[in-house]
């Protein structure tokens, strides 16, 4: 079997960096359940020249396997190991755009970009094979999207990204950012802002941009979509068609720094109640064979309770061993984990 070593990307978030190797190992293990052609074994942290790497063994990795591994969320570089020598493997990232699309926006409460990528990767790999993951064109919804980190990561992969955000400031900030970014990159695009109405009543304001990665794709009429709606996530079913999305990916409110629920009187912080009300709405938007990936604060909601909510909405929770080793500390009040559930065909 060939030995490999993955150099983990540095992270400005030191707490996350301490867990990145372990979480990358679990991410690769999820890929190995259905997306990788070759079997990956022996995932463990190793040291070469005093530098930590994630090591593993594999036999018969295909070109598609290497493309998938090139997009592991915390990967910085990939090597074949020959004794004490490391031979670089050219990485083949799916990224269609400059990485400042996901990194340039900085604001309080932003989810770590590496973790956002991990959550999207794990959710996609739970239900799709390599061709579907690498081929672009998936529809991704983040029903509590903030300022669009998930949407931007979806765009990097050639997917269409859709979001719902109740905070008008975040909605406006994202709309302004993505239009400015597209202009700065001189990418062919068109932007539209309109009101979303159902039964003659307003649901929320919508900003939609359509754009292409290259002039050739633009001439061929192949465009991607990024769309965000300023509305309560509980009204997502009024905004989008049923069974419209391949993946639903979101980082749920932690109930610590940001308000989770808006009622007619004030903002309150009840993330468990919000998820209990929202998951049935989101499940109606998911295509059969698709998946929901959620991250949340385990200090506010127990995993068993969240699994019961997902199962009550007709979803099957993924409970293989790799899914149970993503829990990690964010700060003294937040212990984050993720859960993935698929909708049977």
CATH number of this structure's domain 100-342, picked from the four choices 3.40.50.850, 3.40.50.150, 3.40.640.10, 3.40.50.300:
3.40.50.150
CA 151 – CA 157 distance, rounded (Å): 10
Q: Does 261 score more than 60 pLDDT?
A: no
Phi, psi of 273 (to 5 degrees): -65, -40
Can you tell me the mean pLDDT for 19-26? Answer: 94
Mean pLDDT of the chain: 91
CA 106 – CA 169 distance, rounded (Å): 14
The pLDDT value recorded for residue 104 is 86
Residues of the chain above pLDDT 90, percent? 77
Residue reference for tokens 């090597």: 79
How many other β-carbons are positioned within 10 Å of the β-carbon of residue 85?
9
Q: Does 322 score more than 60 pLDDT?
A: yes
Tokens of 130: 């390599």
The pLDDT value recorded for residue 11 is 72
Please state whether the predicted TM-score (pTM) of the whole model is above 0.85: yes
Q: Which fold has domain 2-89?
A: Alpha-Beta Plaits (3.30.70)
Residue reference for tokens 């984050």: 336
pLDDT range class, residue 254, cuts 50, 70, 90: confident
**Range in 108-112, 186-190, 318-322 the model is least confident about:** 108-112
Q: Higher model confidence: residue 333 or residue 140?
A: 140
Half-sphere exposure of 307 (CA within 13 A, CB side): 13
Q: Strands, DSSP E only, in 60-158? A: 75-82, 85-89, 139-142
Residues of the chain above pLDDT 70, percent? 95
Spell out the domain ranges in the chain. 2-89, 100-342
CA 123 – CA 110 distance, rounded (Å): 20
**Range in 187-201, 231-245, 288-302 the model is least confident about:** 187-201
Can you tell me the mean pLDDT for 133-148? Answer: 96
Q: Does 269 score more than 60 pLDDT?
A: no
Q: Higher model confidence: residue 102 or residue 268?
A: 102
Q: Higher model confidence: residue 283 or residue 59?
A: 283
The pLDDT value recorded for residue 202 is 85
| Cα 71 from chain centroid (whole Å) | 12
Q: Does 272 score more than 70 pLDDT?
A: yes
Q: Sign of the CA dihedral 12, 155, 135, 284?
A: positive
pLDDT range class, residue 283, cuts 50, 70, 90: very high
> What confidence tens digit (pLDDT) does each residue in 141-196 have?
999 999 999 999 999 999 999 999 999 999 999 999 999 999 999 999 999 999 99
Can you tell me the mean pLDDT for 238-244? Answer: 95
**Range in 41-55, 96-110, 164-178, 289-303 the model is least confident about:** 96-110
- Helices then strands, counting H and E runs in the chain, come out as 11, 17
Q: Does 230 score more than 50 pLDDT?
A: yes
The pLDDT value recorded for residue 218 is 86
Judging by beta carbons within 10 Å of its beta carbon (0-12, 13-18, 19+), is residue 197 exposed, middle or buried? exposed
């Amino acid at each position: 079997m060939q030995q490999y070593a993955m150099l983990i990307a540095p992270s400005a978030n030191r707490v996350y960096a301490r867990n990145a190797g372990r979480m990358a190992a679990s991410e690769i293990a999820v890929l190995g359940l259905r997306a990788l052609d070759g079997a990956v074994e022996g995932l463990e942290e190793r040291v070469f020249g005093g530098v930590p790497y994630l090591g593993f063994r594999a036999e018969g990795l295909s070109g598609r396997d290497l493309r998938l591994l090139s997009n592991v969320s915390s990967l910085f570089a990939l090597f074949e190991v020959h004794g004490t020598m490391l031979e670089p493997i050219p990485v083949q990232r799916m990224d269609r755009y400059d990485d400042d699309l996901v990194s340039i926006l900085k604001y309080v409460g932003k989810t770590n970009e590496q973790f956002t990528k991990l959550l999207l990767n794990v959710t996609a790999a739970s239900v799709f094979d390599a061709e579907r993951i690498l081929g672009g064109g998936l529809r991704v919804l983040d029903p509590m999207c903030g300022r669009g980190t998930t949407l931007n990561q979806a765009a990097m992969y050639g997917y269409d990204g859709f979001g719902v955000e109740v905070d008008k400031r975040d909605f406006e900030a994202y709309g302004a950012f993505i239009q400015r970014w597209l202009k700065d990159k001189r990418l062919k695009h068109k932007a539209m802002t309109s009101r979303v109405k159902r039964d003659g009543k307003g649901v929320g304001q919508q900003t939609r941009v359509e754009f292409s990665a290259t002039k050739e794709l633009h001439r061929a009429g192949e465009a991607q979509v990024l769309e965000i709606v300023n509305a309560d996530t509980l009204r997502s079913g009024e905004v989008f068609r049923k069974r419209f999305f391949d993946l639903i990916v979101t980082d749920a409110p932690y109930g610590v720094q940001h308000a989770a629920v808006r009622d007619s009187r004030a903002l309150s912080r009840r993330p468990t109640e919000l998820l209990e009300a929202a998951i049935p709405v989101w499940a109606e938007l998911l295509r059969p064979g698709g998946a929901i990936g959620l991250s949340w604060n385990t200090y506010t909601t127990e995993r068993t309770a969240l699994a019961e909510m997902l199962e009550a909405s007709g979803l099957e929770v993924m409970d293989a061993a790799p899914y149970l080793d993503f829990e990690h500390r964010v700060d003294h009040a937040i212990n984050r984990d993720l859960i993935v559930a698929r909708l049977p065909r």
